[in-house]
Amino acid sequence: MAKDTKHQLDIVTKASFLDARALNIPMLQILKEDGTLHKGVDAPDLDQDTALKIFRTMQFIRILDERMIAAQRQGRISFYLSSLGEEAASIGSAAALDSRDMIMGQYREQGALAYRGFSIEEFMNQLFSNERDLGKGRQMPVHYGCARLNFMTIASPLATQIPQATGYAYGQKMDQSGTCTICYFGEGAASEGDFHAGLNMAAVFKVPVIFFCRNNGYAISTPSQGEQYAGDGIAPRGVAYGMKTIRVDGNDVLAVYHATQLARKLAVEHNEPVLIEGMSYRMAGHSTSDDPTGYRTREEEAGWRSKDPVARFQKWLVSKGWLDNDDAESHYAEQKALVLDALKAAETIAVPHVDEIIEDVYDTPPAQLKQQLEQLKAHIRKYPEAYPKTASRLDEER
């Protein structure tokens, strides 16, 4: 075979086109649907405490999601996004990281945040936009963020965090911090231009970043296969960008954990970006504003119930002797009570003072903005009954 030395290409003299099957990317699965390990496969390096923490976090997120969807239906909060069915992807991967690693998410990764130690109260304060919300009540529910826990504040525009993760990881590499960034997104967001930008730049710059795609089959009503992409999912794209890539069963927490552990090693020790595609299924609607019965069948959903990541992990923990089913149940009931208490407490806390409306636009408010606030307050004083959340507190000592 001849060589094109400039591009280091092998020359062929017969035309042949490659198609999507040229890359056949299999899926790593360690834990089978029945909760047993594949034959001859070792469980990943996972101690009992970590395993139980993962499981408890999964339970907590189940409770939180269920309770807050109900709260939205009752009109107590304006909006909610559930992560039902995808708990293993975010929690299993977060567990494989160092707590100093940065997490940049899309909006269905509350599990990763809970694993880091975001409290029930902190979740509720954000969901109720009250004055204890770290985000000062400015963003929609589920747009969490916490500097203390290295969890970058969520924003609605899809995929914008992907090139940002590359930039963040570049800074980590330059600072020789020994840390990396994980960046979550769905398979729909991977169609955005920012996905292309972020992955290509990460590969070119060789930064310590783990791109974690939650491929859950749907972007709102759009099915992934055939309408979001025509290729073999997201994983082959990582290979094409020159990046180490793996596809895992996103409902198998052991596979997710193991793959993320290895990815973190590549990222931190070798400054190699990694793409992980976690295959899963969005069991709930896209959000509380969506009804999935309009675009998919109950049979399809039922088919995925047997793959439930939480039940599957629970069976394994019990078989290991690390967990007792009764303990799991009583813990679930305790958590449920705590969530309900926190919900009731958070909804009685006032919204932030109206002065906060102009803070943080810049590091300090410009003169024009201060003037606009004074005009607004004069107006509220004139029509207090129209602005019940803030009118009585205008002169409060702050």
Partner 1 sequence: MAKMNLLQAINNALDIAMTNHRNVYSFGEDTGAFGGVFRATSGLTAKYGRDRNFNTPLVEQGILGFANGLASQGSYAVAEIQFGDYIFPAFDQIVNESAKFRYRSGNEFNVGGLTIRTPYGGGIAGGHYHSQSPEAYFAHTPGLKIVMPRNPYMAKGLLLSAIFDPNPVLFMEPKRLYRASVGEVPEEEYRLEIGKADIVKEGKDITVLAWGAQVEMAEKAAEMAAKDGIDCEVIDLVSILPWDIDTVAASVQKTGRLVVTQEAPLTNGFASEIAASIQERCFLYLESPIARVCGLDTPYPLCHEKEYFVDHLKVYEAIKASMSY
Catalytic-residue membership of 331 = no
Q: Minimum distance between the CB of residue 152 and partner 1, rounded to whole angstroms?
A: 6
Closer CB to partner 1, 174 or 230, in the complex: 174
> Which member of 62, 247, 282, 312 is catalytic?
282
**Cα–Cα dist 46/57, whole Å:** 16
Closer CB to partner 1, 320 or 379, in the complex: 379
Q: Minimum distance between the CB of residue 311 and partner 1, rounded to whole angstroms?
A: 35
Closer CB to partner 1, 88 or 146, in the complex: 146
Catalytic-residue membership of 282 = yes
Closer CB to partner 1, 118 or 281, in the complex: 118
Q: Minimum distance between the CB of residue 194 and partner 1, rounded to whole angstroms?
A: 6
Q: Minimum distance between the CB of residue 206 and partner 1, rounded to whole angstroms?
A: 11
Binding site residues, partner 1, CB under 8 A: 102, 104, 133-136, 138-139, 143, 145-147, 152-153, 155, 157, 160, 162-172, 174-175, 193-194, 196-198, 200-201, 204, 359-363, 366-369
Q: Minimum distance between the CB of residue 103 and partner 1, rounded to whole angstroms?
A: 12
**Cα–Cα dist 54/49, whole Å:** 9
Catalytic-residue membership of 56 = no
Closest to 176 (Cα-Cα) out of 149, 212, 207, 205: 207
Closer CB to partner 1, 111 or 163, in the complex: 163
Q: Minimum distance between the CB of residue 19 and partner 1, rounded to whole angstroms?
A: 26
Closer CB to partner 1, 11 or 147, in the complex: 147
> Which member of 295, 305, 379, 381 is catalytic?
295
**Cα–Cα dist 369/184, whole Å:** 35
Residues with a catalytic annotation lie at 282, 286, 295
